[in-house]
Structure 1
Amino acid sequence: MATEAREVDLTGEVCPMTFVKAKLHLDRLAVGDATTLILKAGDQIRNVPRSLRDEGHAIEAVQQDGDRYRLLVRKGE
């Protein structure tokens, strides 16, 4: 059974550390668990979702709020 989504604000990070920290956070979750990553416009929102998909994770929702984006990510295998 998946756990409740938890938010992680990565807006203060600079690529490629944004993806590295997102990956480290996902590594602590069980397969199928969801989390919300908060990213900013620019390189973060362009690169992080693509890299997460390449790693086998699912981006289930993207919500824009000004220059920030909330990504609901479900951990893949």
Structure 2
Amino acid sequence: MSAALLSDVAEYDLRGLNCPLPVLKTQKRLKSMASGERLWVRTTDPLAVIDIPNFCREKGHALLATEATEDGHRFLIARGA
């Protein structure tokens, strides 16, 4: 995805939180969003690379991108229906 397409996407900083908080807080944030809206989620929890994709699959959200960062990972999620 180009940077221009992602410039309007909010970023949710969950660095420093450990399992299960990144998933629980992501779930709560997505509930307040409209279907199709996108959100970057930043984490430092090493289990997030397993938990976030599983959460998206189970709840019907689209995981559009996963990136390693200096201090963890970030995930681009599109809210499902």
TM-score interval (norm. to shorter): 0.7 to 0.9
- Asked if structure 1 preserves the Cα contact closer than 8 Å seen for 2:46 and 2:72, the reply is no
- Gaps of at least 5 residues in structure 2 are 1-7
The alignment of Structure 1 onto Structure 2 pairs a total of residues equal to 74
Q: CA RMSD in A?
A: 1.3
Could you say which residue in structure 1 is the equivalent of 2:63? 59
**Structure 2 CA distance for partners of 1:41 and 1:19, relative to 1, 3 Å:** closer
CA distance in 2, matches of 1:38, 1:13: 10
Percent identity of paired positions between Structure 1 and Structure 2: 27
Q: TM-score, normalised by structure 2?
A: 0.81
1:41 shift after superposition: 4.9
CA distance in 2, matches of 1:42, 1:13: 10
Query: In the TM superposition, what whole-angstrom CA distance separates every residue of 1:22-72 from its partner, at most 9, and x where no partner exists?
Result: 000101110000010012252122212211221000010111113411111
- Gaps of at least 5 residues in structure 1 are none
- Asked if structure 2 preserves the Cα contact closer than 8 Å seen for 1:31 and 1:75, the reply is yes
Q: TM-score, normalised by structure 1?
A: 0.85
